[in-house]
Amino acid sequence: MNQLSLFDAEELYEFPKDLLEYREHFLSREEADRLKETLLDTAPWEQHTQKMYDKIVLTPRLTAWYGDPKDDKAEEERKPTNLWTPELFSLKEKIAKEFGCRFNGVLLNLYRDHNDSVAWHRDKESRYGKRPVIASISLGQTRNFDFRKKDHHQSKYSLPLPHGSLLIMKGDLQEHWEHRIAKSAIPMKERINLTFRLVNDLI
């Protein structure tokens, strides 16, 4: 697997800026430390179940969701959204202003150690719309973010995402590429990933 540390000229051929943008030090060390500790202590972390090979298993990570209030009363039957905290709202506005995009929700994933992961997938749900823009902030332990071509799994790349980094996925990336955070054979500390999104059923 090719490992990307920076998007140099050679790798830009594979991942042009209309698909990915990367900022290694988007948050300062102090900002990232403070946000990580706040979220670890205060986020309403939950562990969900999923169906895998005809079995119901626990998802190997914890999650929490924050966003705009829901206007549609039909949405009240679904689990309510946690409203933006000042820290998360400020971060959303900072990303939106700098990159010219709009978000109305953020999904938090807590990878507690090296055993937690997320399998290969694409963020292709209809509620994210066509060509979604997803801004991903990483806090804590550096983990490799793996990509592979949907129709050619041998085309595979890995980008380490360190504390305070920002990765923006956009364009046709979700159409043609899958991504994951794999389990690790090396012991790992906590990592929190924040994925800011524009969700149609919150508009």
Element (DSSP H or E) covering residue 121? strand 118-121
Residue 132 class from Cβ within 10 Å (0-12 exposed, 13-18 middle, 19+ buried)? buried
For the record, the structure tokens of 200 come out as 């149609």
Tens digits of residue pLDDT in 1-53: 555 444 443 443 456 678 899 999 999 999 999 999 999 999 999 998 877 67
pTM of the model: 0.85
pLDDT value at residue 131: 78
pLDDT value at residue 14: 54
* Domain range summary for the chain, segments of one domain joined by +: 2-202
Tens digits of residue pLDDT in 42-100: 999 999 887 767 788 889 999 999 999 876 544 444 555 799 999 999 999 999 999 99
For the record, the structure tokens of 26 come out as 């988007």
CA-wise closest residue to 24 among 103, 107, 136: 136
One-letter amino acid of 126? S
- Could you confirm whether domain 2-202 is CATH 2.60.120.590? yes
CA-wise closest residue to 80 among 95, 92, 62, 67: 67
